[in-house]
A and B are shown apart, each in its own frame.
Chain A
Amino acid sequence: MLSMQNISKIYRTDVVQTHALRDFNLEVKEGEFVAVMGPSGSGKTTFLNIAGMLESFDHGTYMLDGEDVSHLDDDGRSRIRNERIGFIFQSFNLIPDLNVHDNVDVPLRYRGFKSAERERRIQEALEVVGLASRMKHLPSQLSGGQQQRVAIARALAGEPRVLLADEPTGNLDSLMARQVLDLLEGINSKGTTIVMVTHDPELARRAHRSVHVLDGQVMDLKAVPDSGKRESTVKA
């Protein structure tokens, strides 16, 4: 599903070069739920941005869903993001002026769907997250957990092949965090691949496997073949 081979990313200023990722290798299989962990500055977010094609990289090869997406132009990257990737952010990133319905509608607008198709997808996505009755609410009228569920609905509405989540429970209390994670597990159980960046070992334990990133490289993998049970394998 997602394959990164020898990915390097260097941030340059006039005086300094920072290696955010160096020879970064990662394989994520279809239907997996992978947690990416690591200290601040280790390169987790850079990895997620590259995986989500929000940033380019300097070296290496990135295959997504069997397609080499390493050298796509801006339009190509936008199309892939729109059709195959769903994003979930720590701070939800809902548009405050738009109600729940219209926030979920945002990615569908760029997909070129007709109105009826958009409405069907919005309705279904909001039903999955349990907010179909709050369509006309503005984000400010919802709790943090509800806002994150709207963000998940927005990510789901496009029926993506992979969900990329950046600290999806970072701004939520433990109860809401649990609800959101239950939701993600439910989505994953229906076949959607999930890659989640987190600091929280408790959350990481609920993934099929954890990937540890340090100094821009994958340090070790915890892999459990099928059931989500945890088992560690030292790779590096």
Chain B
Amino acid sequence: MFLYNLRLALLSLKRDPVLTALMIGAVAIGIGMSTTTLAVFHSMSGNPIADKSDQLYAVQLDSWSPNQAYSDPNEPPTQVTYRDGQALMKAAKAKDQVLSFTSTLVLQSDKPDVKPDLVVARVTYHDFFNMFEVPFEYGGPWSQDQDQNAEQVVVLDQEYNQKLFGGANSVGKEVVLNNRRFRVVGVIKKWTPVPKFYDLENDQFGDPEDVFIPFNLLTSMQLHSNGNNSCWGPPPPDSSFESRLNSECVWLQFWAELPTAADRDDYHQFLDNYTQEQKKLGRFQRPLNNHLRDVEDWLKYNHVVSQDSKALVGLSFMFLAVCMLNTIGLILAKFLRRSGEIGLRRAVGASKMALFRQYLVETGVIGVSGGLLGVLLGWAGLIGVRHLLQDSDHIARLDWTMVGASLLIALASSMLAGLYPAWRVVRIPPAIYLKVQ
């Protein structure tokens, strides 16, 4: 019976092309608008490392000024100082831990046709790749020894491996970064965590870094951070690199992998103990206020999905509701125009429920058609968003989940819109329809 109803629906839609176009158009505009905003919201609010997001914790130590909280109300800094970061790395109390920041380097190649280029580097430890599940195309991360020995090794992203080595396996080959020769140990596959959860200080929805190098090269290369660098207290005695490292400036991201709740509790206790020790040295003058936040909590805490985005999704759904209200009117007009057919079908034995199903199938066809057109409009809308907003390539995109969700929303909303007209027409006594035929 469903196929029969589907055939009747298609015939009916063909009968009134203008009305059909209006109904499908109304659904499509509403769905297009909601698809655009929802796709952006979906990307923003996604969990980029769902399988272990409850095991990865951003570490917050309240090393800030005793006179004023880092942010209201009484929130600790979102990054750590060099001294604290190094101390936590040295203690190595977590299963894995990583300290990192981004810096800009000059990349040169031995190829004469490749011009020097500025690249964004993540300066980090070897655990970074394992902790954050970075996929490799060639080679792998550098080793713990290479970390300790501050060896000049590099992991390239796919794009720079293509640019420098034509996409071939470049492990063992060399590149020049800030006039130092680095040996390639790995090339990562296309990897785009959205949002870029491990560093929300720098371009939350941007690409990961171009190259990755060991953290311990920091001092010898005197690398500066690209990201947010917040300081309190008296200015350093001089402008030397050493003074900056010893300052109370927070500029490094610290993550710990803690597989169980007990590990988390133990680590929190360790952080509190560390803070108590530091207090004895005259640091950490604020009350204990350390935090461990897993990935989802971290994204929420940093307001990765802004209130504006949420409001926009709400508005777009209100717009969809207005479109569907218009569609209800159009569907009702269309159904009532077929009163003779309704009466006839009732007379020859169709129950109210059978007709109700028939008309719901018809509204479902309108919904799916409007949904498909709406997805195309949404896709066009996202292209517009990418042109209007910088660095929105990874959030203004349409994946299959969103296509499915949009079609489902279109189907559900159109069926909902069809409920009243279908209910209304099957309720009228058939004899009346037959008289007006």
Which residues of A are at the interface with B, using a C-beta cutoff of 8 A? 45, 49, 52, 54-55, 74-75, 78-79, 81-83, 87, 89, 91, 93, 95, 97-98, 106-107, 109-111, 154, 158
Using known A-B contacts A93-B434, A97-B11, A98-B11, determine if residue A106 contacts B429 with beta carbons closer than 8 Å.
no
Residues of A within 8 A of B348 (CB): 81-82, 87, 106-107, 110, 154, 158
- Per the CB 8 Å criterion, the residue count for chain B at the interface is 26
Interface pair A75/B430, CB less than 8 Å apart:
no
Count chain B CB atoms within 10 A of each CB in A75, A78, A81, A111 and give the residue with the most. Answer: A78
Which residues of B1-59 are within 8 A (CB) of A? Answer: 1, 4, 11-12, 14-15
Q: Check: B385 CB closer than 8 A to any chain A CB.
A: no
How close is B335's CB to chain A, nearest CB, in angstroms?
A: 14
Contact A81-B347, Cβ < 8 Å, known A54-B430, A54-B431, A93-B340 = yes
* Listed stretches B277-285, B350-358, B392-400, B411-419; interface member: B350-358
Min CB gap B252→A, angstroms: 71
**Closest B residue to A112 using CB positions:** B1
B233 close to chain A: CB less than 8 A: no
Give the residue name and chain of the A residue nearest to B430 (CB). Answer: A54
Chain A positions within 8 Å of B435 at CB level: 45
Chain B residues with Cβ below 8 Å from A91 are 437
Shortest Cβ distance from residue B21 to the other chain A in the assembled complex, whole angstroms: 18
Q: A54-B430, A93-B434, A97-B15 are in contact. Are A109 and B351 (CB under 8 A)?
A: no
Do A89 and B434 touch (CB < 8 A)? yes
- Are A54 and B347 interface neighbours, CB within 8 A? yes
A contact residues around B343 at 8 Å (CB): 93
Check if B218 is an interface residue, CB within 8 A of chain A.
Answer: no
The residue of chain B having its C-beta at the shortest distance from the C-beta of A87 within the complex is B347
18 example contacts (A-B, Cβ-Cβ < 8 A) are as follows: A49-B431, A54-B431, A54-B434, A55-B431, A78-B346, A78-B350, A78-B351, A78-B352, A81-B347, A82-B348, A82-B349, A93-B434, A95-B344, A97-B12, A109-B4, A110-B345, A110-B348, A154-B348
Please name all residues of chain B whose beta carbon is closer than 8 Å to the beta carbon of A107 when the two chains form the complex. 348-349
Chain A: CB-nearest residue to B12: A97
